[in-house]
A and B are shown apart, each in its own frame.
Chain A
């Protein structure tokens, strides 16, 4: 039943470690996103993929590398984790713009990352 799922839900790790977050959607959407929501609750886009192709890459450190093995999955790998990476990371998906409808984004439950 879950439309957009993310794993893990919680991630506590030490500085300098490498970690991955996985996202899957079963809505048949072509477009997927990664957002970061910091402690001030500001939701900022990091990456967007359309049909496995990277289309939006905001100013994000290159320690963050997204990977889309197929259009239903978008994973996020983070190298050399830093304290400032602590945040909630949301995956989302939507139909591509222009295909009709509102192209609403559907969000996953979030991954709460804490870097110690």
Chain B
């Protein structure tokens, strides 16, 4: 089965750092994705982790612990344009095929 949990909403201040957590239970897990979705737009890819550890990409970093079924997305030097929903998604096995299951998303509001 597939189950993804992440907080529904978060608020953070411009210039600050925010960490968005995600826990997953995924059969045949083989990859964790983070997507950003601005209101009224399509999700866009942010990061991918398949091995334990931290992947850094500019202001955004993503961490994975496979043994704990846990990931987080870290956003530094927050900007107003970072206000969006952040979707955690885990890829796993589904009937012999790979399937990506999305969490419900964390709506981040960046305030001045």
Contacts and interface: CB of A to CB of B under 8 A. Distances in A.
Interface of A: 35, 40-45, 48, 50, 55-56, 90, 97, 102-110
B97 to A, nearest CB: 5
Contacts of A42: 102, 104-105
B13 interface: no
A45 B43 CA distance: 13
Given A90-B43, A97-B91, A102-B31, 19 more contacts: A35-B102, A41-B37, A41-B104, A42-B102, A43-B43, A50-B97, A56-B94, A56-B95, A56-B99, A102-B48, A103-B91, A103-B98, A104-B48, A105-B45, A107-B42, A107-B44, A108-B42, A110-B41, A110-B42
- For chain B, give the interface size range: 20 to 34
A33 to B, nearest CB: 8
Contacts of A103: 31, 91, 98
Nearest to A109: B42
Given A56-B94, A104-B45, A106-B45, A44 B33 contact: no
A107 B97 contact: no
B79 interface: no
A45 B30 CA distance: 18
- Top 9 nearest A-B pairs (CB, nearest first) are A107-B42, A97-B98, A102-B48, A43-B102, A104-B45, A55-B97, A42-B104, A107-B43, A41-B105
A40 B107 CA distance: 11
Contacts of A40: 104
B13 to A, nearest CB: 24
